[in-house]
A and B are shown apart, each in its own frame.
Chain A
Amino acid sequence: MGKKNYETKRPSKDYETKRPSRDYETKRPPKDMKRLFKGDVGVEVKERGFEGESDGEGESIPERESHWIEFANKEQKDLVHQELNQFSNNDEAWQKLVVKGDNNVLLYTKGANTSIYLMPREAKDRFKVLMGNPGLRHFGLYLGNFKGTQFNLSMEGMSELVKAGGVSSNWVKLNEDGEKSFLYGQDIKKEDLQAVSARGITHDRGICIVMNAMGECLGIGKLEADDHTLRRVSDTDVLVSNIVDKGMYLRNQDKT
């Protein structure tokens, strides 16, 4: 039996583009997308290419992959909510990022990738117009993406969560040398550690927030050690592997 599909009701009309301009092509999402997300409103946009991308003389402007934006439904929001709860007590992370941040939770689908973005509620009416633009490349806060029905927080999402003071579980703090090596993309060993959250790493997939001694988010790690408290471990073993770190802003800045 396959994974459970999301039960998607018709989303609110708030993000529905009623009359797309002729540049935009609005239609129902393709079948493969419907397997996961049944919503049939929103806006799907064929992205246009630009002159610089064409093979010669600007004659053939390539068509890029289309994207689709809609409100996240209750089930999708619940999955995001559950993931956030793994890093905080009493719903604090969800409350601080979504509720007090006064954000809409939006689902962005492009090809096989489905992501969650937070967009300030106050910008809703303006964004309704912009979301149909074929050149749209980024908006609001990229909170994370779905792999099947599993939601993975992004580094930007983690970082905002830490800034908002919404983190109380599943974190490690590194000393100065550890911080340096983690930001160079290295994994974490015992000598790099300064502190671990009270109950160790209890996240169901071993995910943890990696912070420096001052409690600033450096990136995301994954538990590799057998002992989730990171106490009974050897000096040389990798305790937490590096999934993503903020050094990537330098390493990736020229990549397209």
Chain B
Amino acid sequence: MKTEGYAEYMIERYILMFGEQRTLELLKAFQKPPVQSLNINTTNTSIEALVERMERKGFHLEPVPWCNTGFWIYDIRGFNKELDMGKVSTFNLSPGATHEYLQGFYSLQGASSMLPPVLLDPKPGDEVLDMAAAPGSKFVQMAQAMKNRGLIVGVERSLERMPALKANVQRCGVTNSVLICNDSRYLGEQFLSFGKILLDAPCTGEGLIGSDPTRKNSRSVGDIETMMNIQVQMLEQAITLLASQGRLVYSTCSMAAEENEHVVTKILNNHKNISVVKPPEDIASMFDHGMQETMGAKFNPALKNAIRIFPYNHETRPEGFFAVILEKT
């Protein structure tokens, strides 16, 4: 079998996890990068104003249906919605170098990665923790939903990634944040408790193969196991910091069940006061749902309420993603 540059174990695992037909669809979708997307910072501008300004600069914006501030970016010249939604445009001016970007009117953000903050649904006045905050697009998305009210704390382990996080926070005018450089696994019980926590955990990142083909063979099965152990530790810490009645969104951009359903099942087994919350039906219906068993492993039945984004779920080929809402009773 031709593996098209994929490490052999990956294709085998995909077939075992998703079946032949879905694996073919997945590999086909991974052959082209996702359509570029942005998230409008509504604390600095309005959606209408930015759409108009971007059009004047040659960018056409099409709404992302699962995030009301999210838009895909196309070259405005000759754009035809019926034909061109899957088209990857090339631009004379990079969307990451416009004056509007520098003014913090938007962040460049993968359409899939807009989903976890939407599921967490932070509101003005909330107290929110982002346990792996850099480079900050989801962090800023949550802060804008909070309208700079309440408190949002971003924790990032890597000192090297802090400048990008801080620059995004400052550029986008987030004024209710605290940024801490620390390993989220070791925040300890003395840290604050939060009503809303986002854990977009570090992962093997298989869902990003469309935009970064080096990931076809840059990870090993051993890496999956390593990441899984880290994810369990981080999620355990998140549960400790979650307030009673609090909501936690766990997400990764990995396709591996070990980093997703397995991690969450382990936590559900360890904590009887944690339950899975059903996501809004209009969002869940756009994607696949979590697996209940694969490769001989059975997961918690409630994981049917987890969301799995496959690049073939939409013609824009969003990055592969997993997200689940957990609640503490």
Contacts and interface: CB of A to CB of B under 8 A. Distances in A.
Interface of A: 21, 50, 52-53, 118, 120, 122-123, 126-127, 129-130, 133-142, 156, 159-160, 163, 179-180, 183, 212, 216, 246-247, 249-250, 252-256
A140 to B, nearest CB: 6
B179 A163 contact: no
Given A120-B151, A216-B103, A246-B171, A136 B176 contact: no
B153 A21 contact: no
Interface in B169-199: 169-171, 173, 175-183, 188, 190-192
B175 A140 contact: yes
A52 B159 contact: yes
A136 B163 contact: no
Contact of A250 (B97, B175, B180): B97
A159 B45 CA distance: 13
Chain A interface helix/strand/loop/mixed: mixed
A254 B127 CA distance: 29
Nearest first, the 6 A-B pairs at minimum CB distance are A135-B182, A123-B151, A138-B179, A135-B181, A246-B102, A141-B175
Contact of A123 (B171, B176, B183, B188): B176
A256 B127 contact: no
Contacts, number: 101
B170 A142 contact: yes
B49 to A, nearest CB: 10
B59 to A, nearest CB: 17
B125 A21 contact: no
Given A122-B149, A135-B182, A253-B167, A183 B102 contact: yes
B175 A160 contact: yes
30 contacts: A50-B183, A52-B160, A53-B159, A120-B149, A120-B150, A126-B192, A130-B153, A134-B182, A136-B180, A137-B162, A137-B166, A137-B180, A137-B181, A138-B179, A156-B170, A159-B173, A160-B173, A160-B175, A163-B173, A183-B99, A246-B103, A246-B171, A249-B170, A250-B97, A252-B167, A253-B167, A254-B163, A256-B160, A256-B162, A256-B163
A183 B99 CA distance: 8
Given A127-B151, A252-B167, 17 more contacts: A50-B181, A52-B159, A118-B175, A122-B125, A127-B178, A130-B180, A133-B182, A134-B182, A136-B179, A138-B169, A138-B170, A139-B178, A156-B170, A249-B167, A250-B97, A254-B164, A256-B162
